[in-house]
Amino acid sequence: MTDVITEHARADARRALSPLLAAPPPETQDPARYVGEIFKRLCGCQTTFDEVAFTRIARAVLVSLGKAALEESERQARRIRERSKPSPHDIRVTAPRQVDLDTWDPGERD
């Protein structure tokens, strides 16, 4: 009997929580607010869904986080690569010519 009540309570909670979980991220300039929102939504998932479903959700969040971090790393690497490219207006510095001192006679004039 308690299993039925628990399942009904979970179903009601899912209906109430679904719009909150699917809502777009808040508009803010504070990165800590985004981190808090992630934890808030994960806690909501943990209380709403069973352990197996929550494990799938947590894994999906970790995969998404890894993908986002990789994309940001690639974006930063492209920016660094573009900044380090030589500009057509840059002055090019080359190594000086090497003089063979064995064949050079200081008494000779050029």
What pLDDT, in 10s, does the model give residues 39-90? 999 998 898 889 999 999 999 999 999 999 999 999 999 999 888 877 777 7
Average pLDDT over residues 86-110: 71
Give a yes or no: residue 57 inside a domain: yes
Write down the pLDDT at residue 56. 96
- The residue range of the domain holding 50 is 30-83
Query: Per the structure, how many domains does the chain have?
Result: 1
- Does a structural domain hold residue 102? no
DSSP states along 8-74: HHHHHHHHHHHHHHHSPPP--S-HHHHHHHHHHHHHHHHHHS-HHHHHHHHHHHHHHHHHHHHHHHH
* 37 occurs within a structural domain: yes
Average pLDDT of the chain, as a whole number: 81
Q: Let me know if residue 53 belongs to a domain.
A: yes
